[in-house]
Amino acid sequence: MPGGDPGPGASASPGLAFLVWKKMAQATMVRRKGGFLRWWALTPLVLALLFMIPVLLLQIYLSLHQWTAYLGPWWTSDFVGLDLFWQVLTEDRFLRAIARSFVFAGTSTLLSVLIGFGLAYLLQSPFPGRGFYYMFFIIPMLTVPVVVGYNFQMLLYQSGPVNHILSLLVPGEVRISWLGEAVPAFASLVFIETWNWTPFVMIIMLAGLVSMPKEPVEAARVLGASRRQIFFYVTLPLMKPVLVLVIILRFLEALAEFPKFWTVTQGGPGTFTETIPVYLYLTSWDYFNVSKAAAMSYVILLVVGTIIYIAIRLLLKQKRSLDTMFTRSGG
Amino acid sequence: MKRQTRRKLFSVARYVLLSMWLIVATFPTYWMVATSFKLPEQWLAWPPVWFPSPPTLKNYIAVWTGTPIMATGALLPEINIDVFRALMNSIVIAGGSTLLSVAIGLLLAYGVSRYQVLPEGRLFNLLILRMMPPIVIAIPLVIWYSTLKLLDTWHGLIIIYTITTLPYSVWMIKSFIDEVPEEMEQAAQLLGASQVQAIVKIVVPLIRSGVVATCMFILILTWSEYLLGLVMTAGEAQTLPVQLSKFEGTQEGRLFGLQAALSIGVTIPLIIIGILIHKHLVRGFSFGMIRRQ
């Protein structure tokens, strides 16, 4: 490029201009990179949400129309307005399933929080064998839920090991039909859920206990507080954000629990262990009443949605104190 | 003196209580392992057989090669499941959705952590995706998938698993990125590194183990997912947990041994992964809100 080649005398000013241009370019590049990143970071999320929108629209459509899968495509079904909602809301079986779900989630959450907190409390200070216990305690949480279900079916089988152990402990032969009778079946499921997720509570509680600020406990001890007083008036209040987090996550997960119910009892005996997910599954995939299931889904969406809204508010509020607690000790 | 005896008492009580829970926590898993080595006659025996004697590998061979198994002279009902295809499906679907979820999560987490592309409170709403019971959207999802011809395909399941695990990957990775001081990147840029170089040379090495832990954590979730796998597959793309439920036949003729043998194959990888990343499990399950122990 003979014309464009700057002579040795002219090199100073274009060089300066080039430098300025480079600096400016760098500045905008950095800003543009942010913008570029902004675009790339959000695209998948927006795509995912766009992908889910038809699902929600379809849900509304189905809940307002009576569609029977084998009579024709869904867009030819009859409009029935809010009939289905009325039908669903006055149905005994549905309301019972909701109540049962809440009882199940409540009791299993309570039990796993109590046991999990207890275990974390016992494991909080180092002692020989602590790592050993920890490793074995987290195994239930890592087991695939379907496998958990089948495992307990083997254990609770009428001539299975659980009844045998009970027979050894009490006089006479115990032959409880754990999964064949109403109350034992429900209690078994609560126990299975508790067994499965106690490690989750334990590891989170343990993390909380270990990274809790030490000074308040020390101060209370110096002031002569007893172990129990320290626990109830110092440890527990300090652990509140962690407790809130655990209870919320556990409760919502238990409400949505399906695999264990499906593998262990399928809602039986009768409908006695039928929770919301099981009833919804049966309605749409066993009775093929898709529209009714859609209406039920909407009712549940509203109920659970409200809980989630409150839960997210609560979590956001607790997150601040959790963040300070864990960045302090995180190091 | 009194204090010392009390401490000793506490220590003993601690071992007793922990050992009691140890039995409760591990017995079901022990029973699964034991049953998988038992001969068919012992699966349902009363009194139960505590130790398989003699231990046999028949169940494993039957499950993984598809040969029918003999029990007291009679052939047990044959189970027509293609375990290797299920294994393949599980690996592709769980692996694919994990990689995708973590890649998207990485971008989003970096964007939020460094450029606030979304306010944190808004990003928090992502948890709705996780907290909503999947069964609630299962029906319209299946219809939507059948119009898109995504039912019973690998990519169909990969898409939905990616979406449902996104909250976990974003929040977990974000907690790792938040731990890298922004000043380090700025310092690198002052020393002449470009933005991309700063990310590649400073941030990536620092969060590498965190990203690996996130991958493993998401793998645990996608590998064990059951409900969506059940309703969105019909035979081609069925994953291992879904195939496992095929063993459910008649209540009395249960194939406990075979079921246990396959269960072990499904579970062992997760237990190994989980124990490898046990330090990060807390962070994963708490969406990064709780860091280390």
Q: What is the ipTM of this complex?
A: 0.89
In a domain, A297, yes or no: yes
Task: State in Å, rounded, how far the first CA of chain A is from the last one.
Answer: 58
**By C-alpha distance, which of A270, A157, A249 is closest to A203?**
A249
Chain B residues whose CB is inside 8 A of the A121 CB are none
CA distance A6 to chain B (A): 27
CA dist B138 and B251 (Å) reads 28
The DSSP code for A72 is S
A44-92: per-residue pLDDT in tens?
A: 888 888 998 998 888 888 888 887 766 667 777 778 778 888 888 889 9
Put simply, whether A31 touches B (Cβ < 8 Å) is no
CA distance B221 to chain A (A): 9
B-facing residues of A in 224-243 (CB < 8 A) are 242
pLDDT number for residue A110 = 97
pLDDT in tens, chain A (331 residues): 444 444 444 444 556 666 666 666 555 555 545 556 667 778 888 888 899 899 888 888 888 888 776 666 777 777 877 888 888 888 999 999 999 999 999 999 999 999 999 999 999 888 899 999 999 999 999 999 999 998 998 888 887 888 888 888 888 788 888 888 889 999 999 999 999 999 999 999 999 898 888 888 889 989 988 888 988 998 898 888 899 999 999 999 999 999 999 988 888 788 889 999 999 999 988 888 888 888 899 899 899 999 999 998 888 888 878 877 776 554 3
Contact assignment for B133 to A122 by CB distance below 8 Å: no
Contact assignment for B163 to A255 by CB distance below 8 Å: no
Virtual torsion, Cα A276, A278, A280, A284, nearest 10 deg = 180
A-facing residues of B in 152-191 (CB < 8 A) are 159, 162-163, 166, 179, 189
In a domain, A43, yes or no: no
Put simply, whether B266 touches A (Cβ < 8 Å) is yes
B-facing residues of A in 7-26 (CB < 8 A) are none
Nearest chain A residue to B239 by CA: give it: A146
User: Is A22 or B260 the better-scoring residue by pLDDT?
Assistant: B260
Put simply, whether A41 touches B (Cβ < 8 Å) is yes
pLDDT number for residue A14 = 56
**pLDDT at residue B292 tops 70:** no
**pLDDT at residue B27 tops 60:** yes
Q: Is B286 helix (H, G, I), strand (E, B) or coil?
A: coil
Domain of residue A126, residue span = 78-330
Confidence category of residue B289, pLDDT binned at 50, 70, 90: confident
Put simply, whether B128 touches A (Cβ < 8 Å) is yes
Crossing angle for the helix pair A92-123 and A290-330, nearest 10 degrees?
A: 20
Q: Structural domain tally of chain A?
A: 1
**Alpha carbons within 13 A on the beta-carbon side of A309:** 6
Which residue among A155, A263, A330 sits closest to B292, beta carbon to beta carbon? A330
Please list, residue by residue across A232-265, b when 16 or more beta carbons sit within 10 angstroms of its beta carbon and e when fewer do: eebbeebbebbbbbbbbbbbbbbbbbbbbbbbbb
What pTM value is reported for the model?
Answer: 0.87
Mean pLDDT for B115-120 is 80
**pLDDT at residue B188 tops 70:** yes
Residue type, A287: Y
**By C-alpha distance, which of B56, B90, B79 is closest to B245?**
B79
In a domain, A88, yes or no: yes
- Most A CBs within 10 A among B230, B290, B291, hence the mutation to make, goes to B290
| Mean pLDDT value across chain B | 85
Confidence category of residue B293, pLDDT binned at 50, 70, 90: very low
Residues 6+ apart with CB under 8 A from A27: none
In a domain, A203, yes or no: yes
Mean pLDDT for B13-42 is 91
Looking at domain B83-285, its CATH architecture is: Orthogonal Bundle (1.10)
Confidence category of residue B77, pLDDT binned at 50, 70, 90: low
For residues A143 and B266, the answer to whether their CB atoms sit within 8 Å is no
Nearest chain A residue to B33 by CA: give it: A151
- Most B CBs within 10 A among A147, A158, A195, A321, hence the mutation to make, goes to A147
Mean pLDDT for B235-246 is 84
**pLDDT at residue B253 tops 60:** no
Interface size A-B, in CB pairs within 8 Å, comes to 281
pLDDT number for residue B252 = 47
Contact assignment for A276 to B266 by CB distance below 8 Å: no
Contact assignment for B289 to A293 by CB distance below 8 Å: no
Contact assignment for B278 to A135 by CB distance below 8 Å: yes
| CATH assignment of the domain containing A226 | 1.10.3720.10
CA distance B50 to chain A (A): 8
**By C-alpha distance, which of A146, A107, A56 is closest to B129?**
A56
pLDDT number for residue A180 = 84
pLDDT number for residue B60 = 87
